[in-house]
Amino acid sequence: MAMWTYSEQVWDRIRNPRNAGVIEDATVVAEVGNLACGDALKLYLKLDENDRIVDARYQTFGCGSAIASGSALTELVIGKTMDEAARLTNDDIAGYLGGLPEEKMHCSVMGMEAMQAAYAKHRGEERPLTPESAIVCKCFGITEEKVREAIRHNRLTTVEQVTHYTKAGGGCGKCQPRIEAILAEETAVRKAEPEPVARPRRLTNLQKMRMVEEVIDKQVAPILRADGGDVELVDVEGDTVTVALRGACAMCVASGATIAQVVQAKLRELVDEKIVVEEAEA
């Protein structure tokens, strides 16, 4: 049996999942996955009069990553409007969990698809039956559209990666040549697209400091507080940002991963890709 290297956030939600269960008077209920492949997720959402999610629960049949992804999904969507929650990606779910092994990324994808299915159902959009010709992987019922979407969104380049993100090709293997053909087509399209013109954004030191402070306060700190931790901005000097972890994060053996995969990753995404985050000396 494979032993996965999970983040502390994943292990915490495997042992103590948040929001597991049923909402009896749910506004919308959606179910995705396939019991034939061992993973399925049922999402319950309770909305207020403004379409804001006031409660979210889930039931899942699957591995520890599926349990953790369902927990993360509900934590992320509570408090958001349906429009905001529908923009959630599998990367958001995996990032909230401090990352997932690539072999388990399909669990975060399942969480994203559950939210998308709930959004479509709430809007009264009926999903047409999938024709047999659209199925690429018959073992797990994976469509060509889903394979192409995973390749484009995650910039996948190998059949193995497609399997990790969608499970397609992970059964009998007969569909792997078709997956290779789809990869070749998508790669050709990607190469034909013109490279975006880089427009470097020059920030003054004051602008950078303000943006760093805002991202830490509004994006990073809420993630850490959900696990009993916190983060404090100590200094910004050039591209180096110094922070101090507080609460549970300060005593966590995975503090290095938290700095790199949560704090630094968010600042590079939203402020400047050159930023390096260091932890303040005790």
Residue 8: closest CA among 250, 220, 282: 250
**Cβ burial, residue 257 (10 Å; 0-12/13-18/19+):** middle
What is d(CA 269, CA 72) in angstroms, rounded to the nearest whole number?
Answer: 20
Q: Are 165 and 150 in contact (CB under 8 A)?
A: yes
Residue 264: closest CA among 256, 176, 75: 256
Residue 118: closest CA among 154, 84, 167, 152: 84
Q: Are 34 and 141 in contact (CB under 8 A)?
A: yes
Residue 236 to residues 85, 101, 208, 247, 275, Cα–Cα distance (Å): 32, 32, 8, 22, 10
Residue 112 to residues 3, 29, 171, Cα–Cα distance (Å): 25, 14, 23
Q: Report, as residue numbers or ranges, the catalytic residues.
A: 37, 107
DSSP 3-state of 138: coil
Cβ-proximal residues to 67 (8 Å cutoff; 6+ apart), any chain:
13, 14, 17, 20, 60
Residue 87 to residues 38, 41, 81, 92, Cα–Cα distance (Å): 26, 18, 10, 10
- DSSP 8-state assignment for residue 129: P
Largest CA distance in the chain: 61
